[in-house]
Chain A
Amino acid sequence: MNCEDARSQLLQYQQGRLELDAADALRAHLAACATCGHEDAAERMVTELLEHRLPQHPASLALKRRLAAGWPASVPQRVPWWRQWARPLVPALAVATVLLVALPVVYYQRTTVRDTNGTSRMVGEAINDYLRVLSSQHPVEIQSGGIHQVKPWFEGRLDFAPVVSFAGDQDFPLEGGAVGYFLDRKAAVFVYRRRLHVISLFVFRADGLPWPTQGLTPLGRVRAYTEVARGINTILWRDGDLGYALVSDVDSSELHALASKLAGNT
């Protein structure tokens, strides 16, 4: 090792950063070379001066407080690309999830409410028409001499042909018929009896009406909706282009018995 090599390694040697072999070689050189030995001593002295005598200028407490106050509890962090996308997507996905869950519920509720409102409207109309029949001085305009006498009577009075095949029997005799209104349209009114009870059957065009879609039960080859309101039973069903509303204050099972006969024969 020459002097130039030795001096180039002095600082590393003094800081203990030389490899063991290189440190041994330099140590041997310093022991043999007075000039490099002095250089070593002078460098150590400079280091000591810098470490122990050079004035230090630490940060003031005020500065440290300002620095601490300026560093928030949370700082932006480097995140993977998918997290960068995920950050805005999460709320969007959350909204989408809520919509996916909520929309069917809202739709169901809205349709149910609409369904319920429409059905109630139909039931209410059926009951009111039934009550009008009851309160009428002449509930039937054509006295029944049989179904084949009543049905032809409607010709020219309605814009449709009511399909009713049940001509009445001992349990439910057909009393007669009349022309009435069901909501916004004309209706054929068939009046049956069950003992002293009046049973009204309204037959009308089924199109454009809020027919119930839920709570339907089988009735012959169709499905019917049953509701009790104001103590009066109402059974609604549609068959083809025609709608039927059977209304009475008779027992529900008896009204269903008649409904089965009507629906089975219509």
Chain B
Amino acid sequence: MAWRSEGLDAGAALGREALAYADALHNLAHYLTGNAADAEDLVQETYARALKAASQFTPGTNLKAWLFRILRNTFISLYRRRRNDPTVGGLDTVMPAIAAPTDEAWLRGDLELDRLRKIVGEEIERALMALSEEARTVILLDLEGLTEIEVAEVVGCAVGTVKSRLSRARTVLRQQLRDYA
């Protein structure tokens, strides 16, 4: 399908709309790379690639999700390979035990809720960064309001996989937070 717009140049319009997602892209980039400098480079490269691939964007689809997909693919191609990241294992193979007896005890006492209320920003950030890159990605994309279908397109997996990955990621996050509490 041809991508055109009436009057206003479609490319310029896409650029303006894409720039509106710079904060969200940079936030994800920061949590993927772990530092501001790499995050900026990743976002810049993402926009450069988006510009080159602008003709492939289909109007009417989610531009934000499209940009996230480019960002994640760029991250994989440029950053993840050169890093020896022990957290890059994937949630499908590193699955924490859900509702283990100790957790049940923890949950039954409502202690978790009390402690969670005392968690500060730095602690939740540290807990998030302790997760695998895939876990961080699905949690942050979910926070950005992407649907499971859109998240699946970004990370390149089935919708059902996204659902299970997100559930597992949040469970692991809660375990990390419990340790801080």
Interface SS of chain A: helix
CB pair A79 B119 closer than 8 Å: no
A54 at interface, CB cutoff 8 A: yes
How many Å lie between the Cα of A17 and that of B109 in the bound state?
Answer: 30
Give 1 or 0 for each of B54-95: 1 = CB within 8 Å of chain A CB: 111000000000000000000000000000000000000000
How many Å lie between the Cα of A74 and that of B10 in the bound state?
Answer: 7
Tell me the minimal C-beta distance from B27 to chain A in angstroms: 5
CB pair A79 B19 closer than 8 Å: no
A57-B25 contact, Cβ under 8 Å, with A46-B173, A49-B124, A77-B55: no
Residues of A within 8 A of B125 (CB): 54-55
How many A residues face the partner with a CB closer than 8 A? 40
A67-B30 contact, Cβ under 8 Å, with A75-B54, A76-B55: no
Residues of B within 8 A of A56 (CB): 23, 27
CB pair B124 A50 closer than 8 Å: yes
Of all chain A residues, which has the CB nearest B56? A78
CB pair B177 A78 closer than 8 Å: no
A197 at interface, CB cutoff 8 A: no
Tell me the minimal C-beta distance from A1 to chain B in angstroms: 16
Residues of B within 8 A of A132 (CB): none
CB pair B26 A57 closer than 8 Å: yes
Restricting to A1-22, which residues have a CB under 8 Å from any CB of B?
7-8, 11, 17
Give 1 or 0 for each of B124-154: 1 = CB within 8 Å of chain A CB: 1100100000000001001100010000000
Which residues of B are interface residues toward A (Cβ below 8 A)? Answer: 1-4, 9-12, 14-15, 18-19, 22-23, 25-27, 30-31, 36, 39-40, 43-44, 47-48, 51, 54-56, 104, 107-108, 110, 112-113, 116-117, 119-122, 124-125, 128, 139, 142-143, 147, 163, 166-167, 170, 173-174, 177
* Known interface pairs A71-B18, A73-B9, A77-B11; 10 further A-B residue pairs with C-beta atoms within 8 A, sorted by A's residue number: A38-B108, A49-B119, A54-B121, A57-B36, A63-B26, A67-B22, A67-B44, A75-B11, A77-B54, A78-B3
